[in-house]
């Protein structure tokens, strides 16, 4: 792990200098993980700012939405169905949103994502019935602000710095998530859920205005100046992605690795209460711990990974995620359970960033938005099946069986993926 200290000091050095110095373009670019050109720095700065605000609002809605559902006469099963519907909408909308981003550019994608956030939050704040509340989930099909920001990072980073740039975007989102968790949890006792949702609408509008006013306009012919014979974004489809070597294998592996970790992370609060019996205050502290682990994964571990071959990514992901899952099977109490969640969060999210980076390097620039959209859809698919399977295993076999089955699923998928990658690599040796 000799790269870790370098990655950490590279990320922190602009903030920890002992002597005053003038901020240079190179320092700003190094902090943001992008190229040192002015347009790249401004684009990434806007993307980072929007992600912090976007994450605060998203977390606020996650906190108040169950309360609004309860006020309107909904119960836990109603809310669970709404969440499943939301996951299905976002899984289906991710690929289409990627095509939109490839065709119209990252600024249009950011504005569309934040417009969807404004629409859904407005409906949630004004909902007067369960049906109207569920209607607010429909705009979420286009609420892919994180995906749009990832495309900004891919367009304005070098191949060698791609993982670092994507990790920085994740760090901005994680910062907003942590801030939203802390602030909204404190305000929830003093303000009504609808009042908090209305505040989110105002903040989403401010975010939209920041993107509209501050994100630099692309030159008119930027997306037309492609190499002779390069396919137009309009003519590209999902079948084109499937023709790229390694891409389908990595996408399937990501769906399974995310789901395997999601068998624990998707139900971590439920497992904290039963069987480990964490109090509500302790569960809140655990959430902050998880958020900190997420930041470590995005800001330190993912940039240190750099650009790796698909085979190393698959094998490394299995080694660390599988080991983290296996150790959870031996959790004997609330303290050990909470402590062992950290390595799982770090390994899972660092793996996702590294796989996303590899995917964008395996396709053309005209397909980067689309491959990121399909990748995000794979994440949603993983979180669709994982909690249902984990709940069934827990009811019949108890908690230790859940992480063990998850590790076994990941191990079998890893073995198949390595065989396929080995077969796909054969043309390179001929």
Predicted confidence (pLDDT) per residue in 96-144, tens digit = 888 888 888 889 999 999 999 999 999 998 888 888 888 888 998 889 8
Domain check: are 268 and 416 in the same one? yes
The pLDDT confidence band at residue 218, using thresholds 50, 70 and 90, is low
Co-location of 209 and 277 in the same domain: no
Whether residues 248 and 182 fall in one domain: no
Q: Residue 111 falls within a domain, yes or no? A: yes
Instruction: State pLDDT tens for residues 77-97.
Output: 677 677 778 878 887 788 788
- Given a cut of 70, whether residue 9 has pLDDT beyond it is no
Question: For position 223, what pLDDT does the model report?
Answer: 43
> Same domain, yes or no, for 184 and 43?
yes
**pLDDT for residue 219 is more than 90:** no
Residue at which a domain ends, from 182, 217, 252: 217
For the chain, give the percent of residues with pLDDT over 70: 83
The answer, yes or no, to whether residue 236 has pLDDT greater than 60, is no
Work out the average pLDDT over 416-428. Answer: 82
275, two tokens:
């069987």
272 and 412 both lie in a single domain: yes
Give 150's pLDDT tier (boundaries 50, 70, 90).
Answer: confident
- How far apart CA 351 and CA 344 sit, in angstroms, is 11
Q: Which residue has the tokens 């095509």?
A: 99
**Structural domain harbouring 164:** 31-217
Question: Do residues 334 and 387 share a domain?
Answer: yes
pLDDT at residue 176 tops 60: yes
**Is 15 among the domain residues?**
no
Does 233 have pLDDT greater than 80? no
Same domain, 282 and 140: no
Q: How many alpha carbons fall within 13 Å on the CB side of residue 81?
A: 9
Residue 53 lies in a domain: yes
What pLDDT is attached to residue 185? 64
Residues 15, 19, 20: CA angle, nearest 5 degrees: 75
Residue 304: C-alpha distances to residues 1, 5, 9, 233 (Å): 8, 8, 11, 32
Residue 200 lies in a domain: yes
Greater model confidence, 424 or 186: 424
- Same domain for 390 and 315: yes
Nearest to 328 by CA among 263, 268, 404, 277: 404
Find the DSSP H helices in 19-105: 25-32, 38-71, 76-104
Structure token digits, residue 204: 């989403």
Q: Which of 61-70, 133-142, 277-286, 349-358 has the lowest mean pLDDT?
A: 277-286
Number of domain units in the chain: 2
Place of tokens 């959870």: 328
Same-domain status, 78 and 160? yes
Mean pLDDT value across the chain: 81
Name the token pair of 398: 């108890």
Residue with tokens 């069986």: 401
Same domain, 295 and 209: no
Is the pLDDT at 22 greater than 80? The verdict is no
Q: CA 41: distance to chain centroid?
A: 22
pLDDT recorded at residue 11: 44
- Cβ neighbours of 223 (radius 10 Å): 16
Measured CA to CA, the distance from residue 197 to residue 201 in angstroms comes to 6
Does 22 reside within a domain? Answer: no
Considering the domain architecture, whether residues 250 and 210 belong to the same structural domain is answered as: no
Does 315 reside within a domain? Answer: yes
Q: pTM for the full model?
A: 0.74
273 and 400 together in one domain: yes
Q: Residues 397-408: what's their mean pLDDT?
A: 93
Highest mean pLDDT among 15-19, 155-159, 419-423: 419-423
Among 188, 217, 246, give the residue marking a domain's end: 217
Given 217, 246, 270, the domain boundary residue is 217
Selected residue with higher pLDDT from 250 and 298 = 250
CB 146 within 8 A of CB 349: no
The reply to whether 14 falls in a domain is no
At 189 the pLDDT is: 64
Inside any domain, residue 227: no
In this structure, of 195-199, 217-221, 254-258, 388-392, the range with the lowest mean pLDDT score is 217-221
Domain harbouring 184, CATH code: 1.20.1250.20
């Amino acid at each position: 792990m000799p790269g870790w200290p370098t990655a950490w000091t590279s990320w922190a050095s602009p903030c920890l200098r002992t002597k005053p110095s003038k901020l240079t373009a190179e320092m700003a670019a190094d902090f943001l993980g992008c190229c040192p050109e002015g347009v790249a720095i401004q684009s990434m700065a806007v993307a980072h700012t929007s992600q912090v605000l976007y994450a605060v609002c998203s977390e606020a809605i996650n906190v108040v939405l169950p309360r609004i559902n309860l006020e309107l006469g909904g119960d836990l099963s109603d809310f669970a169905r709404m969440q499943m519907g939301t996951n299905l909408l976002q899984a289906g909308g991710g690929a289409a949103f990627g095509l939109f981003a490839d065709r119209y550019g990252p600024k249009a994608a950011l504005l569309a994502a934040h417009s969807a956030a404004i629409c859904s939050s407005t409906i949630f704040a004004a909902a007067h019935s369960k049906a109207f509340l569920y209607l607010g989930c429909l705009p979420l099909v286009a609420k892919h602000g994180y995906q749009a920001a990832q495309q900004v990072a891919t367009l304005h980073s070098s191949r060698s710095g791609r993982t670092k740039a994507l990790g920085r975007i994740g760090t901005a989102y994680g910062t907003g998530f942590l801030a939203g968790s802390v602030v909204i949890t404190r305000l929830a006792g003093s303000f009504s859920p609808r009042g908090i949702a209305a505040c989110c609408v105002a903040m989403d509008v401010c975010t939209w205005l920041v993107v509209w006013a501050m994100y630099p306009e692309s030159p008119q012919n930027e997306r037309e100046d492609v190499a002779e014979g390069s396919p137009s974004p309009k003519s590209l489809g999902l079948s084109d992605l499937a023709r790229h070597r390694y891409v389908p294998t990595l996408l399937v592996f990501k769906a399974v690795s995310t789901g395997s970790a999601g068998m624990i992370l998707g139900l971590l609060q439920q497992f904290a209460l039963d069987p480990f019996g964490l109090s509500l205050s302790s569960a809140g502290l655990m959430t902050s711990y998880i958020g900190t682990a997420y930041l470590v994964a995005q800001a330190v571990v993912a940039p240190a990974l750099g650009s790796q071959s698909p085979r190393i990514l698959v094998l490394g992901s299995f080694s660390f995620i599988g080991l983290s899952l296996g150790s959870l099977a031996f959790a004997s109490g609330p303290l050990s359970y909470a402590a062992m969640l950290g390595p799982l969060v770090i390994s899972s999210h660092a793996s996702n960033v590294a796989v996303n980076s590899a995917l964008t390097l395996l396709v053309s620039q005209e397909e980067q938005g689309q491959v990121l959209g399909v990748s995000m859809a794979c994440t949603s698919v993983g979180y669709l099946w994982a909690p249902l399977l984990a709940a069934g295993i827990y009811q019949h076999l108890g908690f230790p069986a859940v992480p063990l089955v998850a590790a076994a699923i990941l191990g079998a998928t890893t073995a198949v993926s390595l065989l396929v990658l080995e077969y796909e690599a054969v043309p390179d040796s001929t």
